[in-house]
């Protein structure tokens, strides 16, 4: 097919692809074509659309005024041509559907497509679950409480506050296998401060089973790609609980003091750490805590700095795992937005290995968080390991673009006694190009429409 078109034609195609809006198309084609040329070409497309919609020749001829010779030529191209008509007609249909999607729905679809592209299977679950499992692992939900109610048999139930635990509970223990699942579900929580009940949309994935370095890199890579989908600058902070606990565990401190230190690391609070260490007679210069708080987060610099620190022996395997992950991500072209930051501290009784958090410019809090949670698996009685993350989709609303300023494209006004069949037909016609048509008797002052059309017995009248 390539030989059919010369350089000029190719330039023309490039020009068509460069058109960005309907308005631009109108201006470009009215300059480049004669009125007749445009009419001829566009009537061919209309015929193709009607043919694909299953209309018969005679009806098409009557509706469009095209000759049967034209119609049969279009029909030949449609069925035996290069597939050009088909592809475009399908795309117009898709675009109509896509136009009606909200930005948050598109965000979820993009995330789904990303997770499915790595073979993660969709996990669908019930909204209600027995409360016991959450009661035992309350801290996993960091400070937010579970909404409970009793079912008709008097059992205490919970509105699902989290998806991860349900997925783990349902996972099968099998040798050498890994289960890969993703979800997008509403979860329900009561926020700690204002005591409000909240419904949140969460999207995420879990990789459960025999977790090796490949799985870890894959999950972190998908986390980075999830953040990159929103076309804004983003940062994925990575930390390793093994290094943090490797430093803190050997210190001669009470559990309360250790917890306080971990909290300080999470706050990048080096002055408080100093106080705690001094109170307990530990030399702050010897234990690396100040250094990991003030670590330069650029991945390679951070790894070099960590290698030069007098880290305890027990942290060595964690450091080498972290280094492998950093190198792998770098080779896959993902390292630009990766940072090493030990202020990512998740609860040590659930998370044990690599943990990470994602931020998108324009959202004031973390939108993604996850990590390696073998310890949660143990607490639920599973022998396997697991790594995963969740994205808080609701938080993305503020960056997903402004909502449409109109409530519908067209308001079709009618009067009492108008023929309903005619109204339906007209509404169908007006909405054929994907416009949103509201058929109403009176316009509410609170709603805005792009244009208003009055229905008359004889036809429609623009207002």
Partner 1 sequence: MINVALPKGRLGEKVLKMFEDAGFRCPDIHEPNTRRLIFESLENGVRYFWVKPSDVAIYVERGAADIGIAGKDILLEYSPDVYELLDLDIGKCRMCVAAKKDFRNIGDKTLKVATKFPNIAISYYQSKSKSIDIIKLNGSIELAPILGLSDVIVDIVETGTTLKENDLEVYETVVPISARLISNKASMKFKRDEILNIVSKIEKDTE
| Residue ranges that bind partner 1, judged by CB under 8 A | 193, 233, 235, 237, 267-269, 271-272, 297, 339, 343, 359-361, 363-366
- Residue 352 to residue 79: CA distance in whole angstroms: 59
> Of 410, 230, 385, nearest to 321 (Cα)?
385
Of 7 and 193, the one with the shorter C-beta distance to partner 1 is 193
CB 318 within 8 A of CB 306: no
Q: Which residues contact 389 (CB under 8 A, 6 or more apart)?
A: 204, 205, 219, 222, 223, 226, 356, 358, 368, 369, 370, 371
Question: Could you tell me the two tokens for 317?
Answer: 């395997």
Of 171 and 357, the one with the shorter C-beta distance to partner 1 is 357
> Of 417, 459, 409, nearest to 439 (Cα)?
409
Question: Could you tell me the two tokens for 315?
Answer: 């942290």
Of 126 and 194, the one with the shorter C-beta distance to partner 1 is 194
Shortest CB 389 distance to partner 1, Å = 17
Shortest CB 342 distance to partner 1, Å = 12
Query: Which sign does the torsion angle of CA 352, 145, 187, 196 carry?
Result: negative
CA 168 vs. chain centroid, Å, equals: 22
Task: Say how many C-beta atoms besides its own lie within 10 A of residue 211's C-beta.
Answer: 18
DSSP-derived 3-state class of residue 419: coil
Pairing state of beta strands 437-440 and 408-413?
A: parallel
Question: Could you tell me the two tokens for 38?
Answer: 């445009």
Of 37 and 272, the one with the shorter C-beta distance to partner 1 is 272
Of 395 and 443, the one with the shorter C-beta distance to partner 1 is 395
Of 297 and 312, the one with the shorter C-beta distance to partner 1 is 297
Of 36 and 231, the one with the shorter C-beta distance to partner 1 is 231
Of 103 and 343, the one with the shorter C-beta distance to partner 1 is 343
Shortest CB 341 distance to partner 1, Å = 9
Shortest CB 99 distance to partner 1, Å = 31
Shortest CB 268 distance to partner 1, Å = 4
Task: Give per-residue burial for 362-396: e unless 16+ CB within 10 Å, then b.
Answer: ebeebbbbbbbbbbbbebeebebbbbbbbbbbebb
Shortest CB 169 distance to partner 1, Å = 29
Q: Which residue has the tokens 């010897």?
A: 286
CB 354 within 8 A of CB 207: no
Shortest CB 280 distance to partner 1, Å = 17
Contacts 24+ apart (CB under 8 A), 186-191: 186/127, 187/160, 187/161, 187/162, 187/163, 188/127, 188/147, 188/159, 188/160, 188/161, 189/141, 189/144, 189/145, 189/146, 189/147, 189/161, 190/144, 190/145, 190/146, 190/147, 191/144
Shortest CB 191 distance to partner 1, Å = 12
Shortest CB 151 distance to partner 1, Å = 33
- Residue 312 to residue 250: CA distance in whole angstroms: 8
Of 345 and 411, the one with the shorter C-beta distance to partner 1 is 345
Shortest CB 91 distance to partner 1, Å = 36
Of 364 and 403, the one with the shorter C-beta distance to partner 1 is 364
């Amino acid at each position: 097919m390539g030989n059919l078109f010369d350089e000029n034609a190719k330039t023309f195609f490039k020009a068509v692809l460069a058109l960005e809006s309907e308005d631009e198309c109108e201006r470009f084609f009215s300059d480049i074509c004669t009125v007749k040329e445009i009419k001829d070409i566009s009537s061919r497309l209309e015929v193709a659309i009607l043919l694909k919609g299953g209309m018969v020749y005679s009806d098409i001829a009557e509706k469009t005024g095209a000759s049967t010779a034209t119609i049969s030529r279009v029909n030949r191209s449609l069925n035996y041509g290069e597939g050009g008509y088909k592809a475009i007609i399908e795309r117009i249909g898709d675009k109509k559907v896509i136009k009606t999607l909200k930005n948050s729905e598109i965000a979820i679809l993009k995330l789904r497509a990303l997770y499915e592209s790595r073979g993660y299977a969709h996990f669908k679950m019930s909204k209600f679950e027995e409360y016991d499992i959450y009661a035992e692992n309350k801290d996993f939900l960091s400070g937010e409480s579970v909404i409970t109610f009793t079912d008709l048999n008097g059992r205490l139930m919970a509105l699902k506050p989290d998806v991860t635990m349900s997925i783990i509970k349902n996972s099968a223990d099998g040798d050498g296998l890994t289960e890969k699942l993703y979800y997008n579900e509403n979860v329900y929580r009561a926020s700690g401060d204002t005591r409000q009940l909240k419904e949140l949309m969460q999207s995420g994935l879990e990789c459960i089973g025999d977790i090796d370095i490949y799985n870890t890199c894959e999950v972190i890579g998908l986390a980075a790609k999830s953040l990159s989908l929103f076309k804004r600058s983003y940062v994925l902070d990575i930390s390793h609980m093994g290094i943090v606990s490797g430093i803190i565990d050997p210190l001669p401190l009470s559990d309360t003091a250790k917890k306080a230190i971990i909290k300080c690391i999470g706050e990048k609070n080096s002055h408080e750490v100093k106080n705690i260490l001094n109170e307990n007679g530990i030399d702050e210069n010897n234990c690396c805590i100040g250094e990991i708080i003030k670590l330069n987060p650029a991945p390679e610099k951070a790894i070099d700095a960590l290698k030069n620190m007098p880290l305890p022996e027990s942290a060595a395997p964690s450091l080498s795992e972290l280094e492998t992950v950093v190198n792998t991500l770098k080779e896959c072209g993902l390292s630009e937005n990766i940072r090493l930051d030990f202020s990512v501290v998740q609860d040590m009784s659930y998370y044990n290995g690599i943990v990470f958090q994602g931020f998108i410019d324009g959202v004031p809090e973390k939108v993604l968080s996850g990590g390696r949670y073998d310890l949660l698996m143990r607490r639920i009685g599973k022998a396997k390991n697991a790594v995963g993350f969740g994205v808080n989709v609701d938080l993305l609303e503020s960056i997903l673009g402004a909502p449409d300023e109109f409530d519908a494209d067209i308001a079709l006004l009618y009067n009492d006694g108008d023929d309903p069949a005619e109204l339906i037909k007209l509404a169908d016609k007006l909405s054929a190009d994907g416009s949103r048509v509201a058929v109403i008797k009176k316009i509410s002052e609170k709603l805005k429409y792009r244009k208003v059309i009055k229905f008359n017995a004889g036809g429609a009248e623009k207002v």
